[in-house]
Amino acid sequence: MALNFSHRPIFPSGLSEDNLVLPMRMGNGYRVEGLPEKSGGSGSGSGDGFGNGWRDVDNCSVSKDILDLLPSDPFGMDISTTFTAITGWLEDLDLDFDYGGYRRDEIGASGENYPLFAGLNFIWNNAVRFHNFPSQGGSVCIDEKISQGVSGFGECSRREVGEPSCSYGSGSSCDMDGVLGFRCGYKDVAVASVSGDTNMDDVNCSEEDERSPHPAIALSLAYLSLSDLLVVERVCKYLRNVVRDDTLLWKTVHVDQPLNERITDDILFELTRRAQGKLLCLSLVECTWITDDGLRRILEANPTIIKLSVPGCTRLSIEGIVGMLKNHNSKEGTQGVKHLHIGGLYGVTQKHFEEIKLLLEHSKKSDLLGTDSQLQEHAKKSDLLGTDGQPKKHSHKPHFYCRWKLYRPFDDDRSLDIEVCPRCQNLRLIYDCPAESCQRLVGNATQACRACTLCIPRCSQCGRCINDSEYEETFCLELLCSFCSQPLVKLLGRTDGKAGLVSSVLPEQS
Amino acid sequence: MASSSSNLISLKTSDGTVFKVERALAKTMKTVQAIIEEADANIYMIPIHNVFSHHMDMIIDYYKLSVAGKSKEFSVEKLDNDELKDFLLAVHYLNMEDLFEVLTQAVADRLEKKSVGYVRKYFGIENDFTPEEYAAIRKKNDWAFKGDDIEPEEDEEKQEE
């Protein structure tokens, strides 16, 4: 277990949105998103290696050269303030531009930010032309129609960001219920981008080779996991801006392997900030660096959270979670958390359990999502609500034990994942049994093969109970039933059994 | 020839092939449906630009599978990357929600755990970052790439430039 609990925050949580100029500090080796970067090539020799562009601009005498006045990264997190600044100095340059050609009514699901995004794309392209980029053959201009259409989806509903699968520990493709609303938004905007015309055609793009991103990538962003999104962010400027600026991509944040081992409070906060206060679902699977304070900060900044899943986040305390839940659900204007996954957390008592159940039930009965139609749509598509806007009631799917799927899947509809174990009465994750003989006993509560793993040991591969049967204990101290251990025994037999396999055979009871 | 009284709708693809599809299938294409609804007179034939005959073949295959409840059997694995991208755009143009989801998921699956260089190559995107910008963006989310195989490929691509 890591001993270093201290994570010096890179910046205070209550950062003023008007403050574009922020001290460039290192914290945990990570930069804070949204900090302006220096343009050009100088300033890279400082101790932290990040350059001191803004400090130079602030502290030194102001250069009259336009290159020094223009910021290299106008698209910091602070979109509105940045836009004002950009339009301000572009107007000073007597630049004649007109992006009034964008028609909002062409965009199905856009909001008031669409013209801003469209204008930003236009202004960015113009600003880029003033920089003397070293010739590298890269594209400078973005296909205006595509940028116009895709930038507008900032107001459309979103997808789920996460690892390939929303099931815990799984590496398969994403089970993106949260995407559906986003997909609707994508279609509306993309159709508009195909049909709408623009005054951007008047822009004289750079003479350099212009290659716009293939439109298919914009349509697929919704289905990418968190790590893939971060890869796409590095592909080109256009995609970087899209990934950072589209709040809908960040309404659901799912962190799983391998990022869960690296993500810290500050990094997570920065990622969730991209939702601009409209984060809906947060799923952190075995994110062992996340602390109570970090999670609390996110909840405070996002009153719209309705699903919180933190299984295996061992630095979180159950008292902290209960306190956060009370605080969050009692605030006015918050929908309240309706689904909580805390499997793998230690020290959950009956009292905690009762309190949590009460809080979740209470929040479900409260007015759901208000009049925010986009959130309602998103939650419905995320399978959290029925078509009538009420919490959906599903029949619970059996949950089988597996080393890769220890926790309930993200799309599980239960309000709380842990239960009282029928055998030991402790509050833990309960597993069903896939064995045929045990399936017949499902209806019988006393005899059903359904308990925590301490009461009923299970095979790590298939989830079968191994109480009374032959099993193998692997070098990793996992248990394998006789069906699953056969291939392993054969393999080890070929290598003269050097893997240190310990076999235990229990006499079969009649 | 009035199509409103018939159960078949005639669709003409970009390459001039005419497909007669069931009205139910045409209804899944919201673009086509909108054209039918907005037309004052009965439509004889609906041209669908950006859609080729091989796209329509696959769309009809998907429709048949989904009607039979076997939509999960529909696979695009046989398509190469460019064909998949073009098919996605065609389906997007026709505004077919279900098939669109399948295809966007398929594209995302093909990008899963791929490097930056691969994504650029896949979509034909050129790197327009300045070295400083790229260094900055790398440092910003370097935490996500530590110890992964992604970086070496990226470095190789940069060395080629």
Q: How far apart are CA A149 and CA A156, in angstroms?
A: 11
CA A456 vs. chain centroid, Å, equals 34
pLDDT at A54: 39
For A238-270, letters b (16+ CB in 10 Å) and e give bbbbbbbbbbbbbbbbbbbbebbebbbbbbbbb
pLDDT mean across residues, chain B = 83
Laid out side by side, the sheet with A502-504 consists of A479-481, A471-473, A502-504
Mapped to the 3 state alphabet, what secondary structure does A38-65 carry? CCCCCCCCCCCCCCCHHHHHHHCCCCCC
pLDDT band at B150 (very low <50, low <70, confident <90, very high): very low
Whether A231 sits inside 8 A of B119 (CB atoms) is yes
Chain B CB contacts of A227 under 8 Å are 113, 144
Contact call for A183 and B104, based on CB within 8 A: yes
pLDDT at A87 over 60: no
Q: What does the pLDDT read at residue B82? A: 86
At residue A445 the predicted structure's pLDDT band, cuts being 50, 70 and 90, is low
Nearest to B126 among A211, A216, A264 (CB): A211
pLDDT per residue over A35-61, tens digit each?
A: 444 444 443 334 444 334 334 444 444
Instruction: Give the pLDDT mean for B5-9.
Output: 72
CA distances from A265 to A9, A101, A260, B28 (A): 8, 42, 11, 45
Q: Hey, is the C-beta of B131 within 8 angstroms of any chain A C-beta?
A: yes
Name the A residues in 168-187 with CB < 8 Å from any B CB.
Answer: 173-174, 176, 179-180, 183-184, 187
pTM of the model: 0.60
What CA–CA distance (Å, rounded) separates A10 from A398? 43
For residues A458-474, average pLDDT: 85
Query: What is the bridge-based pairing of β-strands B18-22 and A471-473?
Result: unpaired
Q: Is B160 on the interface with A (CB under 8 A)?
A: no
> What does the DSSP 8-state code read for residue B21?
E
Q: Is the pLDDT score of A336 beyond 80?
A: yes
A254-275 pLDDT, tens per residue?
999 889 999 999 999 999 999 9
Averaged pLDDT for residues B48-62:
91
Span A271-314, pLDDT tens digits = 999 999 999 999 999 999 999 999 999 999 999 999 999 999 99
> What is the rounded (10 degree) CA torsion for A198, A199, A201, A206?
-120
CB contact under 8 A, A183 and B100: yes
- Measured distance CA(A417)–CA(A438) in Å, rounded: 22
Query: Angle at the Cα of B59 (from A220 to A173), degrees rounded to 5?
Result: 35
* Cβ-defined contact of B132 to A44 (cutoff 8 Å): yes
A303: number of CA atoms within 13 Å, CB side?
11
Position A169 confidence tier, pLDDT thresholds 50, 70, 90: very low
Q: Which of the four pLDDT bands, split at 50, 70 and 90, describes residue B45?
A: confident
Beta bridge partners of A479: A473
Q: Are A158 and A279 in contact (CB under 8 A)?
A: no
Least confident window among A226-240, A474-488, B13-27 = A474-488
Q: How would you classify residue B137: left for phi > 0, otherwise alpha for psi between -120 and 50, otherwise beta?
A: alpha
Q: pLDDT > 90: what percent of chain B?
A: 25
CB A98 within 8 A of CB A123: no
Q: Give the rounded percent of residues in chain A with a pLDDT score beyond 90.
A: 23
DSSP codes of every residue in A98-153? --TT--GGG-SS--TTHHHHHHHHHHHHHHHHTS-PPP-----S--HHHHHHHHGG
Check residue A404 and give its pLDDT: 83
Amino acid at A403: R
Among chain B residues, the shortest Cα distance to A195 is held by B93
Dump pLDDT digits (tens) for A127-161.
Answer: 444 444 444 433 333 333 333 333 333 333 344 43
Q: Using alpha carbons, select from A95, A43, A87 the residue that is nearest to residue A68.
A: A43
Residue-averaged pLDDT of chain A: 66
